[in-house]
Amino acid sequence: MRKFNLPVGLLCLLLLKGSRAFLPNNGFRRTITSETREAPKIYSDQKISLTSLNLAVDLASSSELLSSLSLNIDREQAEALAGPFFGASLFPYLAFLYFLNVKENNCPKGVTVGFATCLLFVFLTIPAAITAQVLYGVSLADSDWLHGSAESLLTITNLVTVIAFRQALEAKEKNLPMPQSATSWGPMTSLMLGLTGVAIVTAVVPAVLGPTVHTPYLAGFMDLPLSLDGFGANPEPENALTIATWIIHVSSLVEFLVAMGFAWRWADIVDNPTWKGLTWGLLPLHSSGITACTYHLFFNRIPVLVPLQALLTCVGNTTAAIATYRIARSNGWQPDVDERIQNTVIPLLDKLTKSRTGEFQTKIVESDSLVGFEDLGAALAGDNDYTFLIKLFGGCAAASYAIKYGELYFDFPYEANVYLGFAVIGVPSALNAFKWYKRSQDPTFEGWF
C-alpha cells in the first residue's frame, strides 16, 4: 500500500488555510446567532405583533441569504467559496489513485504516474497563487507569466497520461510485449520530472528579470506582433491570456478527452466494461476544465465560475474514485481490513457503488457514435508518439489563435453575462455526456454514473 503522510498533510493544510465559511459576511452569522437565543416570555396580547416581528426577521434573513448567494459575487467571495471545495477534493483524488493502482487492475504504471502528477500541479500552484496575491494583489489567473507556468503542469499531467495509455493500448492491440512505461515507474516519472523542470524554468527566468503583473508568459513570443484594433476588433484587456497560455488550456482539455477515450478502449481490450465507468467518472473533471477556460474567455469577469470549477473538481474526483473502486472490485480486489469491516462496511460500499466482486459483463457490441476529440487517439493510431503530439498541439494552437483573437470581434466577452457563461460550459459538457451515452445506450451497459 502506498502511504501519503507528511506531504499530504502539509498540502491539506495549505489548501484549507484561510478558507472561509460559506456565508461571506459576519452580519448574517450574527443574525442567525441572535435568532437562536432564548426568546423572552410573551403574553397573549403580544402574539400577533410577535408573529409579525418574527416574519419580518425571517424575511430579512432570507433576503440576506439570497443576496449572499447571488451569482454576481466578487473575487474575494468567489475564492472563499471555492477554497473548501478545492481542499476537500484532495481526499477523493488520493482514493482514486489508490484504487487505480491496486495490482488486480493491472493498470499501466505510466498512467498512474500521469494521474498522480496532478498532485504536483496542485502543490506547485499554491506558491504561484500566493506570489500573485502578495506581489500584485491579483488572483493567479490575472498574472499571465505565473498563470502559464503553473497551468503548464496540468498539461504535463495529461500529456504523460495520454502517452502512457497510448503505448499500452498499442502493445495490447498488436499483441506486443508491454512497454516499459506500462511495467515500470521509471520512464514516465523521468518524463514528468524533465517536463516539470522546464515548467519551473519558465517561472524562474522572468522572476529573476523583474516581471510586472501582466508580463506575458514565455514573453508572448507566439502572440501577433500587431494590434487588431484597426481592423474592427475590440481592445484587448491587460489580463487576457497569451497564445502560449491558451494553448496550455486548450491542450489540457483535448488531452483529457483523449485519455477518456483511451480508458473506454482499454475496457474493450481487457474485456472488462467496468473500465468504461472511469470515462463517466472523469466527465465532471472535464467540465471543470471547460469552466476554467470559460472564466478566461470572459477575461476573468465572472467570479462565480471559480467556486463552480471547485465544486466540479470535488465532484469529479469523487466520481473518479468510485469508478476505480468498482474497477478494483470487478477484478477481484479484496481490501486488507478487519473482518468486521469486511463483513459490514465493504458490502455497504459495494451496494452504494453497484460494484460486483470478481465479475463483470461480457463485451457488448456498441452502437455507432459521434466523432469527437476523444477519438483522436484512434484516428492517429498510425502515428508515432512524436507525430501524434505534433498534430495534437498543432490543432490546439490553431484553436487558441481563433479563441484569443476571434473573441475580440464580439461584445459578449466584455459583458460577462453569467448565464451565457453557464451555457458555454453546459453545452459542450452535455454533448460530451451524450457522446458516451450514445456509445453505451445498450440497456445492459454497466455504468453507475
Contact (Cβ atoms closer than 8 angstroms) between residue 31 and residue 54: no
For residues 427, 95, 100 and 362, what is the CA-based torsion angle, rounded to 10 degrees?
A: -70
Q: What distance in Å separates the CA atoms of residue 327 and residue 264, rounded to the nearest whole number? A: 13
- Residue listed under C-alpha cell 474575494: 76
Burial (Cβ within 10 Å: 0-12, 13-18, ≥19) of residue 383: middle
Contact (Cβ atoms closer than 8 angstroms) between residue 168 and residue 182: yes
pLDDT recorded at residue 380: 59
Burial (Cβ within 10 Å: 0-12, 13-18, ≥19) of residue 228: middle
Cell of 325: 473502486
Could you list the pLDDT tens digit for every one of the 449 residues in the chain? 333 333 333 333 333 333 333 333 333 333 333 333 343 443 444 443 444 445 444 444 434 443 445 688 898 999 999 999 999 999 999 999 999 999 999 999 999 999 999 999 988 899 999 999 999 999 999 999 999 999 999 999 999 999 999 999 999 999 999 999 999 999 999 999 999 999 999 999 999 999 999 999 999 999 999 999 889 999 999 999 999 999 999 999 999 999 999 999 999 999 999 999 999 999 999 999 999 999 999 999 999 999 999 999 999 999 999 999 999 999 999 888 777 787 788 888 888 888 877 655 544 445 444 445 555 555 555 678 888 889 889 999 999 999 999 999 999 999 989 999 999 999 999 999 988 888 877 534 444 33
Q: Letter for the amino acid at 136?
A: Y
* Residue 218: other Cβ atoms inside 10 A: 20
Q: What distance in Å separates the CA atoms of residue 396 and residue 1, rounded to the nearest whole number? A: 38
**Domains of the chain, residue spans:** 88-439
Q: What distance in Å separates the CA atoms of residue 356 and residue 327, rounded to the nearest whole number? A: 9
Q: Which residues fall within 8 angstroms of residue 378, CB to CB, at 6 or more apart?
A: 261, 265
> Which of 19, 240, 21 is closest to 126 using CA atoms?
19
pLDDT recorded at residue 85: 95
Contact (Cβ atoms closer than 8 angstroms) between residue 201 and residue 190: no
Q: What distance in Å separates the CA atoms of residue 407 and residue 444, rounded to the nearest whole number? A: 44
pLDDT recorded at residue 83: 92
Tell which phi-psi region holds residue 140, choosing left (phi > 0), alpha (psi between -120 and 50) or beta.
alpha
Cell of 33: 446567532
pTM, two decimal places: 0.80
How many alpha carbons lie under 13 Å from residue 170 in its C-beta half-sphere? 19
Contact (Cβ atoms closer than 8 angstroms) between residue 237 and residue 301: no
Q: What distance in Å separates the CA atoms of residue 357 and residue 360, rounded to the nearest whole number? A: 8
Contact (Cβ atoms closer than 8 angstroms) between residue 259 and residue 268: no
* Residue 63: other Cβ atoms inside 10 A: 10
Cell of 392: 495534437
> Which of 316, 327, 317, 315 is closest to 355 using CA atoms?
327
> Which of 397, 416, 203, 377 is closest to 296 using CA atoms?
416
Contact (Cβ atoms closer than 8 angstroms) between residue 170 and residue 380: no
E strand or H helix at 168, and its extent? helix 144-173
Cell of 73: 459575487
Question: Torsions phi, psi of 233, nearest 5?
Answer: -85, 155
Q: Is 223 helix (H, G, I), strand (E, B) or coil?
A: coil
pLDDT recorded at residue 34: 37
Q: Is 381 helix (H, G, I), strand (E, B) or coil?
A: coil
**What value does the CA radius of gyration of the chain take, rounded to a whole number of Å?**
25
Which residue stretches of 209-304 are H helix? 243-269, 276-297
Residue 227: C-alpha distances to residues 247, 297, 354, 406, 410 (Å): 20, 18, 56, 13, 16
Burial (Cβ within 10 Å: 0-12, 13-18, ≥19) of residue 184: middle
